[in-house]
Amino acid sequence: MEYDLIIIGLGPAGQKMALEARKLNKSVLVFEKNKAGGTCLNTGCIPTKSILHDSSRENWQECLLRERDIVSKFNKAIEKDFKNKGIEIIFDEASLDVDKKCVICDNTEYKTQNIVIATGSKPLEIPNFKYDHETILSSDDIFNMSELPKSIAIIGSGAIGIEWARIFNNFKVKVSVIEAMEHLLPAMDIDISKRIERIFKINKIDYYLGTSAVSFENGILKLGCGKEIECEKVLVGVGRRKVLPNIKDDKELVINDDFTTNYSGIYAIGDITKYPMLAHSAGYQAKRLINGIYKKNDKNDAVIPSVIYGEPEIASAGIREQDIQNKDEYEIYNMLIGALPKAWCDNQTDGFIKIITKDNMIKGAHIVSKEASSMIGSILVSMKANINTEEFKEIVFPHPTLLEGLSEVFEFKKTI
């Protein structure tokens, strides 16, 4: 049988691609070698947020049970939804023949008009820290721990490192974070980095900046700066690496910015592209590619937000302060979240709202606060709708809320 579209990988990118294609009445076949939902559902976003939510309320084993129950529910829900919509899934590993433009599985060739590779990523290893899945862990390995260690060192302070540092700290595990750059969360706005460093100090989470991890033996982690840290386990959280399917004759696959490749009719989306390795980014890419293939009106005008969960949440979108070249062209507004009564009512006063504008248009937003993940959404809507700052300030937010800070922040201009 020949299909209109074959997708390799059923993570957020592949899932969205399949659903959007079916809306256009395309016949779709999806290959997935593990479980539906990809990294996000099975070992990433969803289980981590479940454990983070429960980490101050339940023991580790109870957290794992609830996390597994949630993941299982969504695994089954995806499969049921696909079946109801007439999308075929084969749970097996597939390879790619780029010359024939077909997918091969179990010695059977599946032909199609278009192939989309959405095979995702896996935890990145670093020299001298090969995963042994017992003492040197990837973020995937954590979910297999039957008991928590008394101490752990986390290499890397991106989203993975920061969220797991918060989780382990909630469980009273002694946490040390090692970051090679000069600040925690180096990819985010500088004010976010400084605030998180302050919050970590308050919560007694140790961190070491501007140094690398050199080796780990007999419970001793050695750093490049000469410091030695005693810890039971090491979590390597320096990021993820792209995973491509097996390609016949080991032919090279080049992925272009518009999700096309060096082979006609073969496309790529999700973590294997240059775009942020985020589930919502993957979904956005799928919609763009559907438009590009079937509607011929691909657009690229979305601002992709980043969110790190915990207390308080961290949310960021658009230009960072350290990215600004000509300071005369920009205005920066920064208000402490403690200026809002709702923050005091919720007993969460540590954080801020920061807005960066140019020509009276919002170009960047960076928030450390409870509900930051929701607040950044309001900013993104205004950016998409091209609402200028004067119009934005006219929006009436309910009181008392943290949302009202989005308009009040414009009273707090920062000198740059």
Tokens 């990819």 -> residue: 187
* 22 part of a folded domain: yes
Distance of CA 321 to the CA centre of its chain: 21
Q: 91 with 176, same domain?
A: no
Phi and psi angles of residue 338, each rounded to the nearest 5 degrees, phi first: -65, -10
- Which residues, in sequence order, are CB contacts of 353 under 8 Å at separation 6+? 334, 335, 337, 365, 367, 369, 375, 405, 406, 409
On average, the pLDDT of the chain sits at 96
- Which residues, in sequence order, are CB contacts of 356 under 8 Å at separation 6+? 318, 319, 320, 321, 324, 330, 331, 332, 333, 362, 363, 364, 365, 366
Tokens 């023949």 -> residue: 97
| pLDDT at residue number 52 | 96
Collapsing DSSP to helix, strand or coil, 241 comes out as strand
| pLDDT at residue number 296 | 73
User: What residue numbers bound the domain in which 372 lies?
Assistant: 306-414
| pLDDT at residue number 85 | 98
pTM of the model: 0.94
Alpha helices in 171-220 (DSSP H): 190-202
CA angle 205, 148, 373 (to 5 degrees): 55
Tokens of 146: 């039957």
* 152 part of a folded domain: yes
| pLDDT at residue number 302 | 84
| pLDDT at residue number 206 | 98
Q: 148 with 81, same domain?
A: no
- Residue 162 is part of a domain; what is its CATH number? 3.50.50.60
Q: 330 with 408, same domain?
A: yes
Rounded CA-CA distance 259/24 in Å is 20
Q: 106 with 255, same domain?
A: yes
Which of 236, 258, 273 is where one domain is finished? 236
* 288 part of a folded domain: yes
The contacts found for 60-66 with CB under 8 angstroms, 24 or more apart, are: 60/145, 60/147, 60/148, 60/171, 61/146, 64/143
Q: Contact at 8 Å (CB) between 118 and 269? A: yes
Q: 91 with 224, same domain?
A: no
| pLDDT at residue number 276 | 94
* 180 part of a folded domain: yes
Give per-residue pLDDT as tens, 94-147: 999 999 999 999 999 999 999 999 999 999 999 999 999 999 999 999 999 999
| pLDDT at residue number 344 | 97
* 300 part of a folded domain: no
Q: 266 with 160, same domain?
A: no
Helix (H) or strand (E) holding 375: helix 372-384
Which of 236, 252, 278 is where one domain is finished? 236
CA dihedral 181, 150, 310, 122 (to 10 degrees): 60
Would you write out the chain's pLDDT as a tens digit for each of its 416 residues?
789 999 999 999 999 999 999 999 999 999 999 999 999 999 999 999 999 999 988 999 999 999 999 999 999 999 999 999 999 999 999 999 999 999 999 999 999 999 999 999 999 999 999 999 999 999 999 999 999 999 999 999 999 999 999 999 999 999 999 999 999 999 999 999 999 999 999 999 999 999 999 999 999 999 999 999 999 999 999 999 999 999 999 999 999 999 999 999 999 999 999 999 999 999 999 999 999 998 777 666 789 999 999 999 999 999 999 999 998 999 999 999 999 999 999 999 999 999 999 999 999 999 999 999 999 999 999 999 999 999 999 999 999 999 999 999 999 998 76
Q: What's the structural domain count of the chain?
A: 3
Q: 203 with 252, same domain?
A: no
Q: 53 with 180, same domain?
A: no
Rounded CA-CA distance 212/272 in Å is 26
Q: 246 with 118, same domain?
A: yes
| pLDDT at residue number 37 | 97
* 128 part of a folded domain: no
Which of 236, 251, 269 is where one domain is finished? 236
Q: 109 with 162, same domain?
A: no
The contacts found for 381-384 with CB under 8 angstroms, 24 or more apart, are: 383/303, 383/317, 383/318, 384/301, 384/302, 384/303
Distance of CA 288 to the CA centre of its chain: 19
- Residue 392 is part of a domain; what is its CATH number? 3.30.390.30
* 55 part of a folded domain: yes
